[in-house]
Amino acid sequence: MPWVRNLRRFVGTGAGLGSEALMELETKRILLEIFKERQRKSAEAGSIPSFYKKKPEEGSISSRVQRLAKYRFLKKQSELLLNADDLDAMWVCLRENCVIDDATGAEKMNYEDFCHIATVCTEQIGQKCKRFFSPSNFMKFEKDDSGRIAILPFYLYVMRTVSCFLQEKL
């Protein structure tokens, strides 16, 4: 059996299956390649971002700038906000320019009245109230068969929006 003899000779030289030392070297080489590949991939991915940053020390320049920026932002927002007198003036405009529904007695306005009230309020109050008189705000409210909305829910919406911002400010 020549193939058995050839096989024994091949295994005996160490070139076939190899000795333990050669097998160890080959295993280390493969593991080292795998390690380098993973290390290269992690370097490409970058570092993990930090999600926590310490607050700046009290009295430092960054804390002063932060406080000043917050103060200016809140001041600008409060200038855009309706105050109590503005809300009263808006309510008077709404009441003067609405139509009373014969069936329910509710004060209602259609879209034309809504646009007219927007111009009157803008003249009396200023640009602060303009954002409440957008077509999308008109569409938020329930309409009757004539396409009119009640003025009270609209006014309550304006008040809730204003008071919500005031609470956030605190």
Residues 24 and 90 in one domain: no
- Taking 60 as the threshold, does the pLDDT of residue 81 lie above it? yes
Alpha helices in 14-150 (DSSP H): 20-45, 61-80, 84-96, 111-124, 135-139
Arithmetic mean of pLDDT over the chain: 84
Q: How many CB atoms lie within 10 A of CB 121?
A: 23
Residues 88 and 37 in one domain: no
CA distance 30 to 36: 10
Confirm whether 71 is domain-assigned: no
Residues 93 and 156 in one domain: yes
DSSP state of 146: T
Q: Which domain covers residue 34, as residue numbers?
A: 16-45
Q: What is the pLDDT of residue 150?
A: 93
Tens-digit pLDDT profile for residues 24-64: 888 889 999 999 888 887 777 666 667 777 777 888 888 88
- Tokens representing 38? 């993973």
- Taking 90 as the threshold, does the pLDDT of residue 163 lie above it? no
Q: What percent of the chain has pLDDT over 70?
A: 88
User: Higher pLDDT residue, 166 or 22?
Assistant: 22
Among all chains, which residue has been given the structure tokens 């700046």?
A: 56
Helix (H), strand (E) counts: the chain? 7, 3
Whether residue 111 contacts residue 118, with contact meaning beta carbons closer than 8 Å, is answered with no
Tens-digit pLDDT profile for residues 143-162: 998 899 999 999 999 999 88
Domains: count for the chain: 2
Confidence of residue 13 (pLDDT cuts 50, 70, 90): low
